[in-house]
Structure formats: C-alpha cells, structure tokens
Chain A
Amino acid sequence: MIAAHLPILQIILPLLAAPICVLIRPQKFVWPFVLIVSWATLGLAAMMLNQVLLSGPISYALGGWEAPWGIEYRVDLLNAFVILLVALIGAVVLTYAPESVKREIDGDRQPYFYAAFLLCLTGLLGICITGDAFNVFVFLEISSLSTYGLISLGRDRRALTAAYNYLILGTIGATFILIGIGLMYMMTGTLNMADLASRLQGVNHTRTIQVAFAFLSVGLTLKLALFPLHIWLPNAYTYAPSVVTAFIAATATKVSVYVFLRFVFTIFGADFAFGTMHIDYLLLPLALAGIFVASAVAIYQSNLKRLLAYSSVAQIGYIMLGISFGTITGLTAGIVHLFNHALMKGALFLAVGSIFLRINSVQLDDLSGLGKRLPVTSFAFVLAGLGLIGVPLTVGFISKWYLLLAAIEAGWWPVAVLVLISSLMALVYIWRFVETAYFRPVPDDAPPVSEAPLLMQIPMWLLIALAIGLGVQTSLTAGIAQRAALWLLAGAP
C-alpha cells in the first residue's frame, strides 16, 4: 500500500505538516513534530531510492490520470538520488535547528519559520520528483517564495534587502523558465517530460524551440547562481539565519542544477544542446570564470558566512564545468560534486551556526584563537574545509579527481591545470580561518565559552562523517552518479 504511493507521500507529508506547525499549541511541541516529519520524509526517500535500484524507474499517475494527460511523478536513479540528498539535509538541519533558531529568530515567529522551512522542503522535493514541465515551475515558486520568507527572518536588517533582491531576480528567472516551457508547449502540445522529449525531435530545428532553450538556460542558470548571475546569492547567504543558510546553500542551488540536467539532457537531448546549440561554449568559460573570480573574492572577505557564500559560487562553477564537458566522466563529476558539495557546505554552515551561537559573531576578526575557545567546532570546520580544497580521503577529492579525468579525456589540458590552480585558491581562503583560529592568540578580554550543545554537534558531525566516509568508500556516490550520467547521455527519459 505505502510502497505503491511513495512518490506522492514524499510531497504530501511535508506539505500537510507545514500549516499544522502554525496551529500546534503549545509551541514547544512544534519542533518535535517537525523533526518526526522530516525524518519520515527521509525514510520515504530512502525507500524510494531502494525501490528504484531494485526495480527501475517508478511512474506515478497523479489522481489516476495517465501520462501524458495527467501529471506524472517519475522517479529514476538521478532524481531519487537528489531527493535523498534534499531529504537528508532537511532532516539533519532540522535536528540541529532548535537552539540556533531560539537564538536568531524571535519566539512568536518560530512556528512560522518551521512552516516555511517545510514548505521549502516540499517545493524542492516536488521539483525533483515531477515529470511534468509546468509542475516544475509551480514547485520552483513554492520553494522560492518560502525561501524569500526564510531569508527575511535574519536579525540584521540587510536580510530584508537581500530577500527583496533575491525575490526580484528569482522571479525573473522563474518567469524566463515559464516562457521557455510555454514556447515548448506551443510547438509540441504536451507538458509531460518524456512526451516532450520524443515530440521535440521533429521540431527542434525551429526558431521557437531554440528560443525556448535559450530562455530555459538563462532562467535556470540564474536560479542555480552560475557566474555572473550569482549576484543574489552572497547577501542572501550572509544575512539569512544560520539554519536557513545551511539548508538553502546545501539544497536550493543543487536542485536547480538537477532541473538544468533534466531539461538539457532528458528533454532537449545532448545532441541538440551540445551539437546544435553549443551550450558548452557558454558554460565552460562562465564556469571557469566563476571558479576564479568567486574564489578570489572569497579570499578577501572578512565575514566567514560571506566567504563561504562566495566559495559556493565557485563550487557551482565546478559542477557546471563537469556538465559542460558533455561526456560521461564529466557528467559523473558534476553529479558527484553536486552531492559532495551539499554535504561539505551543509557541514561548514552548521559549524558557522555553532560559532555564532557561542561567540555571537562571524567576523573573522572576532574569531582569534577560536581553536582554543571552541576546539571541537573549529576542528569540524577545518575537516569540512579540507573537503572543499579536495584533500585525498575526503569527498572533495573524488569530485576533483573525476573533473580532472574528464578534462584530460576531452584533451583539455589547460582546463585540468586551471582546476588544480583553483584548488590552491580554496586552500587560501580556508587557511584564513585556520590562521585566525589556531595561530592568533585568544584576546585577553574574551569571556570563556562552552561548546555548542550536543544536539547541534551530532548533526554537524554526521555530515562530516558522511563527507569523509563517502570519500573513502567511493563506490556508493560515484557509482550511482556514473549510472545516472550514463542514463542521461543515453537520452532515455
């Protein structure tokens, strides 16, 4: 019974739980309720991935209306993998949340925070699970609107302008996507992704479809914050509450990357995107420029959250670089890094949240001697940071390894060299934290502080354990990513 309805339960559960959060009295029960919902969502996601691994893609007809007339939820290896990632980060971040939320969000707003968080989770899961192009837009807006609300909860008033700017740019991106979907519908008369893929074959020489492709590419790259369309990201990440930053940094852009993969490879097909439209001519230079510019800017930041935000822009560059090769190894690198970066950035922002809870600042100047004041959290930050640089035995190394292989395979030696040089830049900005925390003295007037509570430590260390465990045991993530890449390039929807 449950097994047959897994895809819809995945969406319905957090969607229905969100309004309940606002109704629960007394308010102290809200968090336990949300916690149960989020772990149940994770359980469903794991069951779904298991089902896909055992018996192939799942197709679920909503309300019994068969595709292509009704809305179809379609789960294959790639989106089952992304759904598991989103649900995992959601559950881990919510476990971590209560202390940090108490600190950073006013008491009467907390139930609304949890409601918006669950809506955001619903939207992100929905984007991944649906097999209907218009449905993607609807879920995209559900997740975006709740993200704007979540960002504006930050204590600093600049959170409000950051949320406003994100709203303007995000809506422009989403409307571009809407135009692209509309133009595709005009030429094919269908919105189902599998149906679109087969019907586009006949009309993809027309100007309308080429324009649709352009609108979709621009809209999606804005949503996934590819340089130079990343302007909304640094402020949004810097001023949002720590918990929100950890969640959206690890999931929102990754889900947009997934949608990009879905549209480019499943719907339009690699032949059209790379052969006719030459999207690689655009992606490759922008990805490389993003890696270098954003890493360079990150080096000069004095705010730890902003430093990590710029590092996110650079890491998105690596993901898009892998995708721009258009080969199996390149795609594997992109997909693997999508997963790995979510784990590492999630862990880093959770560590920053713990630092803010105890020190009440994330300015590097206030963190002198942090290695002595908060040894455990500082160590966690450094471990996750090593992953970002790509040190062997961390997941970051696996991503870089596949990226280098892909570059060498394609015969692009300069790109491989540039990837190595850019890793040194990551070393520099992570070193800035190490230098401040371990090689500067503790200020004399610094009050003694204790480590963050266990409930915040455990989720953070769980992500770090995954980021290192999956770096040693590579077959799990890299294996799935490789199969997903093979599948995407085969063009099978």
Chain B
Amino acid sequence: MSQILGLYNYWIVILLMMAGFYNVIARGNLIKKLIGLNIFQTSVFLLYISMGKVEGGTAPIVAEGMATYSNPLPHVLILTAIVVGIATTSVGLSLVIRIREAYDTIEEDEIQQLDEGP
C-alpha cells in the first residue's frame, strides 16, 4: 500500500507523462499536439521537484529552529527547464501560425493531403 500512496507524486508524474505523450502521438491537430508536448515536459518538472524534497525539510532559507532543508538545486534546474519549455512552446505555436497561413488548416491529415495533391 505504501508503494502506491507513499510515492503518489511519482505516480502523478507517470500519469501526466503518458497522457502528454499519448496526445503528441494520437492527435492530428497541431495545437493539441503541442499542448500534449507541454504536459509531457511538465511531468518531468514535477519529477525533478519531487526529488529535491527532503522529508521534514523546509525551504532552504536559514532560520532559527530549522535543522533540515530541502535540496534547492533541482528546483533551480527546473526553472531553467521551464524557460526552455516556454521557448519551445512559443516557437512551436509561431510555426503553427505560419503553417495556418500557408495551408489554411492545422489538421495534420489535411496538410498531408495538400502536400501530396496536384
């Protein structure tokens, strides 16, 4: 039981990761794919944040009466990864805008048809 409940944050990570990944693969709409990719990346952020937590630890600010602190490094790493994620999403969305200008659709199968057509 503790395997399931005690590690609940990791189960959430796995659930989000698979949900996001499924969306990337299964959706034909380019924006839905990107959102799926975003969920996929977010799950990894949660993975990093979970590993930084020390049981009974508090925020890493020196204060009286506190002896254990959580590890701040994974949090800082993930700040960087969040910035990277935002950049990826914005580049992706701007590509989608230009794809819509060029093809007048953002459905993958319709784009494929237009490319293979005459």
Report the contact-size class of chain B (Cβ under 8 Å from the partner).
Answer: 20 to 34
Q: Does A160 contact B (CB under 8 A)?
A: yes
B51:A167 contact, CB within 8 angstroms? no
Residues of A139-166 contacting chain B, CB below 8 A? 141, 145, 148-149, 152, 157-158, 160-161, 163-164
* Cα-based distance from A168 to B88 in the complex (angstroms): 9
Stretch at the interface among A172-180, A369-377, A403-411: A172-180
Question: Which residues of the other chain, B, contact A185 by a CB distance below 8 angstroms?
Answer: 51, 74
Quick one: given A157-B103, A161-B99, A185-B74, are A178 and B91 in contact (CB under 8 Å)?
no
Q: Does A421 contact B (CB under 8 A)?
A: no
B92:A160 contact, CB within 8 angstroms? no
Instruction: Across the interface, name the chain A residue whose C-beta is closest to B100.
Output: A160
* Cα-based distance from A473 to B74 in the complex (angstroms): 49
The main secondary structure of chain B at its interface with chain A is helix
Report the contact-size class of chain A (Cβ under 8 Å from the partner).
Answer: 20 to 34
Question: Which residues of the other chain, B, contact A168 by a CB distance below 8 angstroms?
Answer: 24, 33-34, 37, 92
Instruction: Across the interface, name the chain A residue whose C-beta is closest to B76.
Output: A134
B44:A175 contact, CB within 8 angstroms? yes
Instruction: Across the interface, name the chain B residue whose C-beta is closest to A179.
Output: B44
- Min CB distance A64 to B, Å, is 19
Question: Which residues of the other chain, B, contact A182 by a CB distance below 8 angstroms?
Answer: 44, 47-48, 51, 74
B95:A148 contact, CB within 8 angstroms? yes
Interface string of A121-142 (1 = CB under 8 A from B): 0000000000000100110010
B87:A171 contact, CB within 8 angstroms? no
B91:A167 contact, CB within 8 angstroms? yes
Q: Does A186 contact B (CB under 8 A)?
A: yes
Q: Which of B33, B40, B77, B87 meets A175, CB within 8 Å?
A: B40
Instruction: Across the interface, name the chain A residue whose C-beta is closest to B92.
Output: A167
Question: Which residues of the other chain, B, contact A158 by a CB distance below 8 angstroms?
Answer: 115
Q: Which of B30, B44, B80 meets A138, CB within 8 Å?
A: B80
* Cα-based distance from A138 to B80 in the complex (angstroms): 8
Instruction: Across the interface, name the chain A residue whose C-beta is closest to B115.
Output: A158
A161:B115 contact, CB within 8 angstroms? yes
- Min CB distance A179 to B, Å, is 6
Question: Which residues of the other chain, A, contact B24 by a CB distance below 8 angstroms?
Answer: 168, 172
Quick one: given A138-B80, A168-B37, A172-B37, are A160 and B98 in contact (CB under 8 Å)?
yes
Question: Which residues of the other chain, A, contact B81 by a CB distance below 8 angstroms?
Answer: 137, 178
23 contacts between A and B (CB under 8 A): A137-B81, A141-B84, A141-B88, A145-B88, A145-B91, A148-B91, A152-B95, A158-B115, A160-B95, A161-B115, A163-B95, A164-B30, A164-B92, A167-B92, A167-B95, A168-B33, A171-B88, A172-B37, A175-B41, A178-B81, A179-B47, A182-B51, A186-B51
